[in-house]
Chain A
Amino acid sequence: MITWWQIILLSALAFWMIIDQLTVYWVNNPLCIGMISGLIMGDIKTGLIVGATLQLMVLGVSTYGGASMPDYMTGAIVGTVYAVLAGKGTQFAIGLAVPVGLLMVQLDVLARLANTFFQKRGERFINENNPKSAGRNAWLGIFSWGFSRAIPVFLLLLVGNSIVKAILNAIPVWLTNGLKVSGKILPVVGIAILLRYLPTKKYLSYLIIGFVAAAYLKIPMLGVALLGLALALINYQRQSEAQPKAAVSEYENAEGEYEN
């Protein structure tokens, strides 16, 4: 069962997490949101597992230049709650959290659109030489952002409770098992998107080093991160030393054009 104060707290968390992403950047990731949702639901481990799986899906997905991305923080809240309530395993809840995260893209777009309204009002106050009112419109967007996350979570938790249980009972076993496998392989998408974003082909050797360290040598993740840090530092030092020389090697050729 979910109590009314849990619904309120989780809705408040939904409001805060998007504001957090736009301002202080403390907990704005599915992993931490999953953990906090788990804390609120009294099952921190489930929250961590749901959050961690969703975290792996968004590894390479970051919001730049105003592009909307699937909102797996909302997914983490809803997924954690469903996982705790249904008790049918976490991978299964992730299968439900993913569509929620995907649908949230639409509401992200809506919030960004709504803020154009504050932009227009701000411009009007600037032309009227009214700095105070213009300044206010520069932060009123907090409400469009916050409620774009809080309201759907509130509704999903309020009406979702009984509906989700009914759905859960109706789902056949092969689909439950299938969703478990999907939950396991979905992180592949996050990893692949990240590899597309990074210059993977140019630095493929580092990807291989990391893979060998984990798959063959069984080094834990923190250890691999330290290995990566060492490689990064070596690269930084070598390149720093090489840089003045590189600048010299850029010379003007006979035609008067610069060449590297």
Chain B
Amino acid sequence: MKTSENKSLTKHDLFRANWRWLWASQLSWNYEKMMAPGYFYTVLPFLQRFYHDDELVEMMRMHDQFFNTNAFTGPFIIGMDLAIENHQGYAAKDTVAGLKTGLMGPLASVGDTIFGVIIPTVFGSIGAYMGLKGSPIGALMWIAVNLLIFFLRFSLLPLGYYQGEKLIDSAEGKLNLITQSAILLGLTVVGALIPTVVTVNVPLVFQTGKVTLKLQSVLNEIMPSLVPVLLVAFVYWLLGKKKVTSTKVILFVLVLGIVLSYFNILGV
């Protein structure tokens, strides 16, 4: 197909791609090619518009290759891909394949940090803090934020389509900076989380003659929430050991709680 005959994609086209990616990106996620079916499904109607016969089969094969990125930031790649394929057609096959593999990593790390770690950390902390007291406000706030992100995420694909390659270079430094700043927010919240949600105490009391010594009062004088801090430090250290998985640590802590409770060292 002649390249110059292709008209620009309409807003409706871009929304359609967004919509298909939203639902299909991970539904057939598999160990072999991960998000490949999702990417393939997203661009399929455009492939059918751009190509025919053998070219179509070749392009379908290319888009069914291994692909894995963050579901939120991935549409940026799709937008760029559609812009290139719409202009250059079949000739762009290798360019697009390279673009996909080249960008999926960087976009995954930004997306995973912000949408996979920082936002769940901040709103999970606030929500759990309120939830432990029986208040649904934090949970509802989180849902509201998710809805906001849900609408905002539709803007990345058009951004990729209209801005294309030139954006990724100028944005890279900025994206790193945003990620770094978000991490600072996350760490501050986690710092507050330790004393507020890990509320165990030490019921142990020493008695020598007339003097009774409540261990918890002594600990309180050293530092509030000393026990939670020590527990976090201990588990943090454990996780750094080789062959220690998070599942093993969870089981270990589960048993540890029972044992320490049995010997009256920890109480609720």
Contacts and interface: CB of A to CB of B under 8 A. Distances in A.
8 contacts: A59-B193, A115-B31, A139-B23, A141-B37, A198-B190, A225-B122, A227-B188, A228-B185
A53 B132 CA distance: 7
A49 B199 CA distance: 14
A206 B178 CA distance: 16
Given A131-B47, A185-B200, 8 more contacts: A35-B136, A49-B134, A55-B131, A127-B61, A181-B268, A185-B198, A192-B239, A221-B189
Contact of A31 (B142, B181, B228, B259): B142
Interface string B182-201: 11111111111111111110
A131 B196 CA distance: 54
A21 B48 CA distance: 30
A85 to B, nearest CB: 19
Interface stretch (B80-88, B158-166, B229-237): B229-237
B167 interface: no
Size range of the interface on A? 35 or more
Interface residues of B, number: 113
Contacts of A49: 131-132, 134
Given A126-B61, A203-B183, A59 B124 contact: yes
Contacts of A122: 28, 37, 40, 64
B31 A187 contact: no
B185 to A, nearest CB: 4
A243 B246 contact: no
Given A52-B131, A138-B24, A181-B261, A194 B190 contact: yes
Interface string A131-170: 1001101111110010000000000000000000000000
Contacts of B60: 126, 129, 131, 134
Interface string B248-268: 011101111111111000111
A206 B193 contact: no
Those 3 A-B pairs whose CB atoms lie nearest each other, nearest first: A210-B191, A182-B257, A178-B258
B73 interface: no
B190 A59 contact: yes
A61 B121 CA distance: 10
A200 B236 CA distance: 11
A195 B132 CA distance: 22
A188 interface: yes
Instruction: Identify the interface centre among A52, A60, A112: most chain B CB within 10 Å of its CB.
Output: A52
A66 B121 CA distance: 20
Interface stretch (B6-14, B90-98, B145-153, B210-218): B145-153
B150 A195 contact: no
Given A25-B149, A59-B120, A240-B177, A138 B30 contact: no
A142 B37 CA distance: 12
Nearest to B116: A62
| B contacts with A: majority SS | helix
Contact of B56 (A60, A131, A178, A210): A131
Given A219-B192, A221-B189, A225-B125, A32 B139 contact: yes
A118 B134 CA distance: 43
Given A126-B57, A222-B126, A184 B27 contact: no
A22 B26 contact: yes
A78 B34 CA distance: 29
B188 A102 contact: no
A52 B75 CA distance: 32
Contacts of A224: 188-189, 191-192
Contacts of B149: 25
A189 B147 CA distance: 29
A85 B224 CA distance: 36
B89 interface: no
B143 A27 contact: yes
B203 to A, nearest CB: 10
A233 interface: yes
A139 B249 CA distance: 36
Contacts of A251: none
A240 to B, nearest CB: 7
